[in-house]
Amino acid sequence: MRDLKPYQSHGTGKFRTEDFKRIGKNVVFEPEVMVFHPETIELGDNVYVGHRAILKGYYKGYMVIGDGVWIGQNAFFHSAGGLAVGDRVGIGPNVTILTSAHKEEGRRVPILLSDLEFAPVSVEEDCDIGVGAIVLPGVTVGRGSQIGAGAVVKKNVPPYSVVAGVPGRVIRRRK
């Protein structure tokens, strides 16, 4: 079994706009937004970040949010594996986007102590991610797609698709 390292704080999540790798014009941060590793985060113009959202950059990852993106309250983005969100994307309240997960190493290693695997997530332009949806590592959500409320997306989504359910499945194509 691996040695258990002492837990340590990741900080308060307080940030200054000048700490970002890039920040566009007219970016709105509502109260209680937390940002970690802003030096790895790029925000485009006209981005809205809702109350209590967490943008969890990572010291060796990246997060790029395009122009005209709306991020709802309590959203959680973890970009250790890399996260790119295209222009004009709406992301509902309580959406979670993850770019890392613990490896499956069998019973010999507790899950919490297993190594992490990193895989980028891409949400292409003109998408809508519904309230409470979860997008898992390695997924690309194709342009113009809509992810239904509460869906768990674990596979790539073709452009202009509508996805619903757990696990998320394409239920129709947008016209």
Question: What number of other Cβ atoms are within 10 A of residue 18's Cβ?
Answer: 7
Alpha helix ranges (H) inside the chain = none
Q: Mark whether 51 is an active-site residue.
A: no
Comparing CA positions, the residue from 120, 54, 49, 58 lying closest to residue 84 is 120
The CA distance from 154 to 102, in Å, is: 15
**Positive or negative CA dihedral for 27, 30, 31, 33?**
negative
| Helix, strand or coil, per DSSP, at residue 17 | helix
Q: Exactly one of 10, 37, 51, 102 is catalytic; which is it?
A: 102
Residue type, 113: L
Helix and strand totals (H; E) in the chain: 0, 22
Structure tokens of 149?
A: 């409320």
Comparing CA positions, the residue from 124, 120, 130 lying closest to residue 162 is 130
Return the active site residues: 102
